[in-house]
């Protein structure tokens, strides 16, 4: 072929191109004048420049066009738009992965379609990630009926599983849990802390490395009516003792609790966690 810029595409029945990968940056290319690897000037993503008497390699990818689709309704039977529906793959032992593989938003009629998906087993959920609890809807997995375990769906290559419908429980109201870290002498404990939040079933729901305010306060997003246990509160120099920090339903938009850092040599003189409203 003649030297110049070429756009390279790939197609196959039952598959869709991976556009994010196929239109990626070329990265560094040889500059014949400077004899260095340099960014391509005026790069057009998805293209490749072939120079005279040279050879270029460009890898492309495709996904099997598997789909899982259905509807999302609230507990009153109304379509639920703008809900993030998640598809979870399974690991080698057949257990659900902790993070979603692919997601889709429900439209104005509550309809969703997650695609493209390779063949395999899937679980479908809303707010199902183990380490996140940001959606106002409580964790909910598609199942075959009330009080039944999450349903494992088997998807064939380039096929579609329709009518995987979800009926969600009522939305929760957002709230803030303010954790006050104090040293054994009662002074605010400042610095960087990793805070882990667990559900009442001890499932990991939220975690973040945060810097406390000057008064030692860390703010954690929670929801009214849910029960939480805050744990693994650590700093670079000391460990906190969060076991009795909070383990009861959140009933107010703003809840305060107190955690003690590592106990001093005479723990009986240490302040105790403050009562919760």
Structural domains in the chain, sorted by start: 4-63 (no CATH), 65-167 (2.60.40.1120), 174-269 (2.60.40.10)
In the DSSP assignment, the letter for residue 20 is: H
For 48, 119, 201, the CA distances from 21, given in Å and listed in that order, are: 14, 20, 39
What backbone torsions phi and psi does residue 76 show, to the nearest 5 degrees?
Answer: -95, 0
Q: How far apart are CA 86 and CA 82, in angstroms?
A: 13
Which pLDDT value is given to residue 94?
85
Q: How far apart are CA 226 and CA 249, in angstroms?
A: 5
> Contact 137/168 with Cβ under 8 angstroms?
yes
Q: How far apart are CA 59 and CA 22, in angstroms?
A: 8
Residue with tokens 């939305």: 171
Predicted TM-score (pTM) of this structure: 0.71
> Contact 26/48 with Cβ under 8 angstroms?
yes
> In 3D, which of 232, 239, 228 has the Cα closest to residue 202?
228
Written as tens digits, the pLDDT of the chain (277 aa) is 888 888 889 999 999 998 888 888 777 767 778 878 877 667 788 888 888 888 888 899 999 999 999 999 999 999 999 999 999 999 988 889 989 999 999 999 999 999 999 999 999 999 998 777 778 998 899 999 888 999 999 999 999 999 999 999 999 888 877 777 766 666 776 666 666 666 655 566 666 676 767 777 777 777 877 776 665 454 444 444 443 444 444 455 555 454 433 333 333 343 434 433 4
Residues ≥6 apart with Cβ < 8 Å to 27: 39
Which pLDDT value is given to residue 28?
72
> In 3D, which of 126, 85, 88 has the Cα closest to residue 106?
85
Angle at the Cα of 271 (from 266 to 273), degrees rounded to 5?
130
**How many other β-carbons are positioned within 10 Å of the β-carbon of residue 72?**
25
- Beta strands 47-50 and 4-7: pairing type? antiparallel
In the DSSP assignment, the letter for residue 119 is: S
For 217, 234, 254, 267, 269, the CA distances from 264, given in Å and listed in that order, are: 21, 16, 30, 6, 9
């Amino acid at each position: 072929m003649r030297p110049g810029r070429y756009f390279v595409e790939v197609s196959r029945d039952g598959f869709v191109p991976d556009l994010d990968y196929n239109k990626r940056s070329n990265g560094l290319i040889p500059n014949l004048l400077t004899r260095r690897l340099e960014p391509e000037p005026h790069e057009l993503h998805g293209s490749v420049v072939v120079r005279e008497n040279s050879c270029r390699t460009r890898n492309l990818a495709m996904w099997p066009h598997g789909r899982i689709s259905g509807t999302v309704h609230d507990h009153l039977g109304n379509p639920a738009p703008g809900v993030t529906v998640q598809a979870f793959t399974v690991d080698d032992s057949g257990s659900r992965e902790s993070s979603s593989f692919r997601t889709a938003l429900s439209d104005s009629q509550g309809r969703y379609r997650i695609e493209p998906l390779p063949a395999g087993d899937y679980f479908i959920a809303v707010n199902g990630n183990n380490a996140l609890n940001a959606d106002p809807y409580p964790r909910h997995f598609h199942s075959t009926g009330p009080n039944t375990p999450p349903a494992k769906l088997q998807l064939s290559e380039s096929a579609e599983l329709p009518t995987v419908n979800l009926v969600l429980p009522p939305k929760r109201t957002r709230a803030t849990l303010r954790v006050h870290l104090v040293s054994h002498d009662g002074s605010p404990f400042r610095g960087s802390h990793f805070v882990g939040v667990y559900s009442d079933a001890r499932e990991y729901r939220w975690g973040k490395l945060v810097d406390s305010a000057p008064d030692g306060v860390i703010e954690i997003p929670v929801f009214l009516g849910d029960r939480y246990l805050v744990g693994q509160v650590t700093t670079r120099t000391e460990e906190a003792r969060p076991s009795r920090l909070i383990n009861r339903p959140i009933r107010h938009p703003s809840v305060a609790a107190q955690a003690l850092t590592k106990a001093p040599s005479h723990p009986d003189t240490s302040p105790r966690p403050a009562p919760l409203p």
